[in-house]
Each structure stands twice: as structure tokens, then as C-alpha cells.
């Protein structure tokens, strides 16, 4: 376990990349998807 | 230099390892969901097409695994809304295309009317989709023609040209970055993405959950400044789309019945924009006379000219989801309605049951009844003055749809009845109508005349001929563009003979 932590400390990009992808990109995309314009919504018609 | 290069290489290796870990984690969750049986589970919403039918390369139909040889659509946001098309047999197949009116058509009525002529059997597949304008109808049309092999196609499209354009503008804004759009599309296709998207949607109100019309006022203001050239472009595209469909049908030798959509004459126009070349002083003079006229309007008259969309009667004000409300019957007679003649004579408009109506529906009909009742001397005087002022305003702004409409309505309130062409002119001058108008229906007639394989079905003219005073209004319509259930039933029954004649010709 200690070796894993040491590795991650020495190679921060290995964990920063997944954190950024999941933390920023995914949340951004999901929010966008959840709020995507709706087509058949009644008030549009 | 060498050390720095080695450092960079190391960082790149770390970065790639990070990416690999990200993907691994994603695949791990995705695989886990599939193994757990979520692949076909209703717990996860089906993937949406982010281009929502605008992308011509999108495939709308996929083979129906439950009925080999059959097809099912993949458009809806919920599985229950999908269209299932059975495998092709000797039964003659008719396809219906269009927007929400078409989607609400009781297609079984047409099916029964055709089959009743015997001995041939018919199936009518309703491919109408709420919100679809001719742009997306054309894309759907091309694929359906290829895959579903129809004997005849019916197109009833034209109310949604600005509705569809507005949606396209929203999509363009939301997915303006192609990389983000690609990633989102990819995420939407994954189980993980949809599961998480559902989770987010449950926790905060999405656009779909805004239930008050006030939240949608911006929707109706999008075209508030649209110059006439912009309006013409939309109608040009409409005509091109109809031509495109007519060409496709002709190429495949499939007869096409092209309908003019029925529009409500007594629903006010939406957008009037002064032409750029018009002098400011002329605009000011017109506005001044208009303001003076407005001050003279009696209250029920004013109520028939709603300033905001929340004050208009919309199809949803009649209550409930459309399919359900179509099955009802009005219990109390509505005031202000006149009898129709000819082929519509004695027919029931089959208005939905009134338990769920918004109060403004009955109020609207009461105002309509006032409009058709005799005027008091005071009302007569003020409306006569208003007519004069509106006439003066029109001298300065002959392009203004609102002025034309209000003048026609005021003259109507004063007892004049032959005003169909005045209401038609007002509608055609609208810069962004959410309904078909005489101008667009003329284009439908032109397209039909250009194509030998296309038969025109002039539904709008048929209704106008049978409606009181030549004005298709609230007798048969539930808002600016939607016909009532009884009207749709009458229309489909009326259409059956034409469909049979076309099919006979094809043989």
C-alpha cells in the first residue's frame, strides 16, 4: 500500500488525470445532458 | 536539455497511464452494469439522440427484436412512446407524417374507413411526432420510405416550422462545441452516462420539468425581431422540404397525399416587425394610433388579444396528456360556437372533458360568444372609433400583422361577417407564426401542382368551406394549430376516399 502511495506521489498525473476527467468533464457533460433542450415539450408547440 | 526531455517523456507516460486508468474504471463500471442485467433494464433511460432528428445520418428505425421483420423507432425519451411497425404482409400500408396534430390523429379511424371498403386490408402507421417541422419530417420520411415500404404516404406538416427552428437554435446553442457534443453523445450511449444523467435529473429541475408557462415566455420571444427576409427563408426551406419528400415518393413510385394543415383564423398573430427601410416617424404615427385604438377596446375584446402566451389558450390548457384528453367528450356546451355546414354538418368536435380545463378556456369561449353577440351603443361607438384609428395606423404600417388582425376582429365585433380574407392577410403577415398560414398553404398547393405523383388534399380549404362565415375557428380547433379530436376524425374519414382512389390508380 505504502509503495502505491509513494508511486502516486511521484507520479501525480496518474491520479490527477482521472480526477479531472471524472470530477470536471463528467460533471460538466452530465449537467449539460440533463439540461439538454427538450423537443416534444408541450410549451414549445 | 536531455534531462528536461526525459522529464517530459515521464510526464507523458504518467498522463497516458492516467487516461488508461480512467478508461479502465469506466469500462469496469460499464461492464459491471451490463453483467448485473442493466443493459435492457427500464431502470436506465434509453439513449437520446442529441441531434434530435436533425442529423440526416441518424437511423431512426432499428429491427424489432420481438417481431422479426418488423421495425421500431428509437426516437422517444421513453420506451412507451416508440412506434412499432409490424413485419410487412399483403396488408396495404399507409404512413402518416407530420407534427403533433398528426401524432394525435386517430389512425384507426382511417384504417377502418379504408378496410370497410373491402376486400383489401389496410394498416395505417402514424409517424407523426410532436414538435416536428418539415425539416425533420423529411429526414424521417426518407428512412421510413426505404425501410417500411409503404403503399401510400400522407404528409400533414406546416404548423411547426418556427417551432422546429426554435428547437434547432436551442440545440445549436447547447452543443456549439463539436468536441463536447461528441463526448456527450458518447456518454449518452453508455449505461453509466445515462444512469448518472438520470441521477442528476432527479436531483435538480431540468428544462423538461419547468411546468409553468411563464418559464417559457423566452421561447415565444426568440423571433421577436425577425425581419421578413428571415421569415421567407423559413417558408422557402419548408417548400424545399416538401419538394424533397415529393421527389422521393415519386422516385419510389409511392403515391403521396399532401395536405394543407388547418389553421385557426381567430387566433391572433405573434410577431410583427417594422421593415428596416420604414421611416421612424411612420412607425411612431402607427404606434400612436394603435395605442389610442387599444384604449377604446371593450374588456372582452381586449381579452381576445392576449399580450402574453400565458393568456392564450393552448392545447395543454384543456388538461392531461394529449392522448388521454382526446378520448373525452365535453359535458357542457361551449358558448360562442356556430354550426358548421356541408361535410362537417352535425358532426361533434369531441372536445375533451371539461373537468381538467384551465379556467381560461371557458373564459375564452365566453369572450368569443360576446364577440358574436349584438353590441351595446357604447361598445359600438368605441369600436367604430377604434376601427377608424386602426385604419389610419395601417396607412403608416401596412405590413403589421397585429393591426390587420385587430381591425378584422373589430369589424367582426361590429357585425361584419365576410372577413375571411382580412384574417388570412393578418396571418400571412405574421413574421413567426406557430401555425400554418395562407402563405405557407399556398406553397403546399404549389408543390402538389409541380409533382405528378402527388395528390393535394386541401384540408384547410375543406374546413373553411364548411365553417361558419368561412372562418375556421374555435368550433373545430383547441388552439392556434391543433384541431379537435372530432375534427381529426372527420378529416381522416373525409380523406379515405382520396386514399382509395390513389391506391387504385397505382394498381
Classify residue B260 as exposed, middle or buried by CB count within 10 Å of its CB (0-12, 13-18, 19+): buried
Q: Are the Cβ atoms of A43 and B216 closer than 8 angstroms?
A: yes
For residue A40, which residues of chain B lie inside 8 Å, CB to CB? 77, 100, 129-131
Confidence class of residue B323 from pLDDT cuts 50, 70 and 90? very low
For residue B163, which residues of chain A lie inside 8 Å, CB to CB? 44-45
Indicate whether B431 pLDDT > 70: yes
Give the nearest chain B residue to A12 (CA atoms).
Answer: B14
Confidence class of residue B36 from pLDDT cuts 50, 70 and 90? confident
CA–CA separation, A9 and B364 (whole Å): 71
pLDDT of residue B357: 86
Q: What is this structure's pTM?
A: 0.90
CA–CA separation, B102 and B111 (whole Å): 14
Asked if B403 and B397 count as a contact pair (C-beta separation under 8 A), the reply is yes
Q: Are the Cβ atoms of A18 and B25 closer than 8 angstroms?
A: yes
B100 touches chain A (CB under 8 A): yes
pLDDT of residue A33: 84
Asked if B400 and B390 count as a contact pair (C-beta separation under 8 A), the reply is no
Out of B129, B160, B200, the one facing A30 most closely (by C-beta) is: B200
Indicate whether B119 pLDDT > 90: no
Q: Are the Cβ atoms of A42 and B315 closer than 8 angstroms?
A: yes
Query: Which SS3 state, helix, strand or coil, does residue B38 take?
Result: coil
Flag residues of chain A having pLDDT under 70: 40-45
A21 touches chain B (CB under 8 A): yes
Out of A14, A22, A30, the one facing B14 most closely (by C-beta) is: A14
Poorest-pLDDT segment among A25-34, B88-97, B479-488: A25-34
What DSSP designation does B101 have? H
Query: Which SS3 state, helix, strand or coil, does residue B450 take?
Result: helix
Look at phi and psi of residue B65 and say left if phi exceeds 0, alpha if psi is from -120 to 50, else beta: alpha
Indicate whether B211 pLDDT > 50: yes
For residue A26, which residues of chain B lie inside 8 Å, CB to CB? 187, 196
ipTM > 0.90 (yes/no): no
Average pLDDT over residues B420-441: 97
Nearest by Cα to B476 from B319, B368, B338: B338
Confidence class of residue B105 from pLDDT cuts 50, 70 and 90? very high
pLDDT of residue B79: 52
Cα B396–Cα B400–Cα B403 angle in degrees, nearest 5: 85
Amino acid at each position: 500500500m505504502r509503495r502505491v502511495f509513494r508511486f502516486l506521489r511521484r507520479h501525480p498525473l496518474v491520479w490527477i488525470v482521472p480526477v479531472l476527467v471524472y470530477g470536471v468533464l463528467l460533471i460538466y457533460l452530465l449537467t449539460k445532458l440533463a439540461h439538454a433542450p427538450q423537443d416534444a415539450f408541450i410549451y414549445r408547440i | 536539455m536531455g534531462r528536461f526531455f526525459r522529464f517530459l517523456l515521464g510526464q507523458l507516460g504518467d498522463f497516458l497511464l492516467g487516461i488508461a486508468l480512467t478508461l479502465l474504471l469506466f469500462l469496469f463500471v460499464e461492464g459491471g452494469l451490463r453483467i448485473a442485467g442493466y443493459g435492457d433494464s427500464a431502470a436506465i433511460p434509453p439513449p437520446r439522440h442529441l441531434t434530435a432528428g436533425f442529423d440526416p445520418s441518424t437511423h431512426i428505425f432499428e429491427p424489432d427484436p420481438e417481431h422479426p421483420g418488423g421495425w421500431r423507432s428509437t426516437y422517444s425519451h421513453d420506451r412507451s412512446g416508440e412506434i412499432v411497425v409490424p413485419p410487412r404482409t399483403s396488408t396495404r400500408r399507409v404512413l402518416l407524417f407530420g407534427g403533433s396534430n398528426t401524432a394525435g390523429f386517430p389512425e384507426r379511424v382511417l384504417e377502418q374507413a379504408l378496410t370497410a371498403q373491402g376486400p383489401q386490408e389496410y394498416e395505417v402507421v402514424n409517424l407523426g411526432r410532436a414538435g416536428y417541422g418539415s425539416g425533420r419530417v423529411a429526414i424521417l420520411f426518407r428512412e421510413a420510405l426505404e425501410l417500411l415500404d409503404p403503399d401510400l404516404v400522407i404528409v400533414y406538416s406546416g404548423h411547426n416550422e418556427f417551432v422546429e427552428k426554435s428547437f434547432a437554435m436551442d440545440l445549436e446553442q447547447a452543443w456549439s462545441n463539436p468536441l463536447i457534443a461528441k463526448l456527450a453523445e458518447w456518454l449518452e450511449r453508455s449505461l453509466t452516462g445515462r444512469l448518472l444523467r438520470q441521477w442528476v435529473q432527479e436531483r435538480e429541475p431540468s428544462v423538461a420539468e419547468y411546468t409553468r408557462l411563464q418559464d417559457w415566455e423566452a421561447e415565444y420571444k426568440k423571433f421577436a425581431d425577425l425581419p421578413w427576409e428571415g421569415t421567407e427563408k423559413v417558408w422557402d426551406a419548408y417548400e424545399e422540404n416538401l419538394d424533397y419528400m415529393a421527389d422521393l415518393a415519386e422516385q419510389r413510385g409511392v403515391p403521396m397525399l399532401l395536405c394543407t394543415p388547418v389553421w385557426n383564423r381567430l387566433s391572433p398573430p405573434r410577431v410583427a416587425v417594422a421593415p428596416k427601410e420604414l421611416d421612424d416617424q411612420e412607425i411612431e404615427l402607427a404606434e400612436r394610433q394603435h395605442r389610442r385604438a387599444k384604449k377604446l377596446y371593450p374588456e372582452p375584446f381586449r381579452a381576445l388579444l392576449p399580450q402574453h402566451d400565458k393568456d392564450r389558450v393552448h392545447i395543454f390548457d384543456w388538461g392531461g396528456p394529449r392522448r388521454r384528453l382526446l378520448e373525452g367528450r365535453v359535458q357542457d356546451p361551449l358558448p360562442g360556437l356556430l354550426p358548421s355546414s356541408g361535410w362537417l354538418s352535425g358532426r361533434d368536435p369531441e372536445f375533451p372533458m371539461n373537468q381538467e380545463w384551465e379556467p381560461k378556456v371557458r373564459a375564452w369561449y365566453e369572450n368569443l360568444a360576446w364577440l358574436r353577440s349584438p353590441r351595446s351603443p357604447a361598445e359600438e361607438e368605441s369600436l367604430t372609433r377604434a376601427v377608424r384609428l386602426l385604419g389610419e395606423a395601417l396607412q403608416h404600417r401596412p405590413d403589421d400583422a397585429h393591426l390587420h388582425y385587430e381591425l378584422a376582429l373589430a369589424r367582426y365585433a361590429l357585425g361584419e361577417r365576410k372577413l375571411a380574407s382580412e384574417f388570412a392577410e393578418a396571418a400571412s403577415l405574421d413574421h413567426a407564426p406557430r401555425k400554418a398560414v395562407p402563405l405557407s398553404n399556398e406553397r403546399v398547393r404549389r408543390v402538389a401542382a409541380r409533382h405528378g405523383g402527388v395528390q393535394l388534399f386541401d384540408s384547410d380549404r375543406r374546413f373553411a368551406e364548411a365553417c361558419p362565415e368561412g372562418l375556421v375557428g374555435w368550433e373545430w380547433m383547441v388552439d392556434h394549430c391543433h384541431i379537435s379530436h372530432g375534427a381529426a376524425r372527420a378529416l381522416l374519414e373525409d380523406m379515405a376516399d382520396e386514399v382509395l382512389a390513389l391506391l387504385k390508380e397505382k394498381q
